[in-house]
Amino acid sequence: MSDENLNGTAAAAEDQPQGAMFTVEKLYVKDISFEAPNAPQVFNEQGQPDLQMKLNQKVQRLGENAFEVSLGITLTCTINGKTAYLAEVEQAGVFGLGGMEDHILDAMLGIQCPNILYPYASATVGQLITAGGFPPFPMQPINFDALYAETLRQRAAQVGQGDASLADAETAGNA
């Protein structure tokens, strides 16, 4: 009998996943909103639209290897100081991640998952805008690698300021 088959350990090892695991379990719209508070008058406004986009991301652990990642996009369009529309979408997904070191897991949640969610959120925002009677707005790609790198720089700066500052920053980031 070989050493690998003692006490059934080889059979148990074959049942365990080997290496890192990444799966997309479910993608869904978690929240959606569209407002055109100055319609129909805003359709007659002349002027250059001013578009402001806010982006946020939340991660929630659902289980040992399951995470919900949600990507929020808020797009506000004003013309001559009047709000033409406000479109908000929170696109979410459940992702299976396991068998990786913490820093790799953090990077996957901060880069790969939002990269998967963004095209869905962008398409939904575009549909809301056109359904609201406004011209389409093609959303530009987002470099989640750069955003994640900036997040790491902010975390490092917060750790340097002390634990109280870190707690305040985490609370502000989730607002």
Q: Given the DSSP bridges, would you call strands 21-35 and 82-98 parallel, antiparallel or unpaired?
A: antiparallel
| 161 against 6, higher pLDDT | 161
Q: Structural domains in the chain?
A: 18-101+113-139 (3.10.420.10), 143-175 (no CATH)
Q: Is the pTM of this model over 0.75?
A: yes
Report residue 170's pLDDT band, with 50, 70 and 90 as the boundaries: very low
Whether the predicted pLDDT of 23 surpasses 60: yes
Percent of the chain that is helix, strand, coil (3-state, to 5): 45, 35, 25
Q: What is the structure's pLDDT at 166?
A: 40
Whole-number Cα distances in Å, 56 to 23, 63, 134: 22, 22, 24
Whether the predicted pLDDT of 126 surpasses 60: yes
Q: How far apart are CA 36 and CA 146, in angstroms?
A: 33
Three-class SS of residue 141? Answer: coil
Q: What are phi and psi of 17, to 5 degrees?
A: -65, 140
Count Cβ neighbours within 10 Å for each residue of 144-169 and write b for 16 or more, e otherwise.
beeebeebeeeeeebeeeeeeeeeeb
Q: How far apart are CA 51 and CA 48, in angstroms?
A: 10
